[in-house]
Amino acid sequence: MNLPLSLRESILDQVDAYVDAVDTPNSEAVVEVVIEQLELLQDENEIDDIIGKLEDSGALADPFSEALDEEFTGAAGFVFSGEDVVTTLERLCGIDWIEDEAFDPESLA
């Protein structure tokens, strides 16, 4: 699935801001940060059910939030950082980041 680089940067920045603001990051809270950023993209581009599309793209057996949370909590030594979260999201859902100008929301229809 192709998504805009600006989304990658938003997720990275928001996760880093959350991690910097708390003593001990919580995986569920990080998942919520990711979902909020995905829903912003969805709303701004009139995309239907971006979470469902990511579940399909990654052939996830569990709902997106559970699968992402399991990736964070199940990985030995996982360190919460924007870069690690984005890399996990890429791998889990088969995301390729493209230039914003090349992103066509209708490709996700």
- Give the closest residue to 56 by CA, choosing from 100, 108, 4, 3: 108
- Residue 105 in tokens: 């929301």
Distance (Å, whole) CA 90 – CA 18: 20
pLDDT per residue as tens digits for the range 19-59: 999 998 999 999 999 999 999 999 999 999 999 999 998 89
Q: Where are the alpha helices (DSSP H) in 22-81?
A: 27-45, 50-57, 64-74
The domain locations on the chain are 2-102
* φ, ψ of residue 60 in degrees (nearest 5): -75, 135
- Residue 97 in tokens: 């980041």
Asked whether the predicted pLDDT for residue 109 surpasses 80, the reply is no
Asked whether the predicted pLDDT for residue 108 surpasses 90, the reply is no
Instruction: Go through the chain and tell me how many residues it has.
Output: 109
Q: pTM higher than 0.85, yes or no?
A: yes
On whether the CB atoms of residues 23 and 68 are closer than 8 A, the answer is no
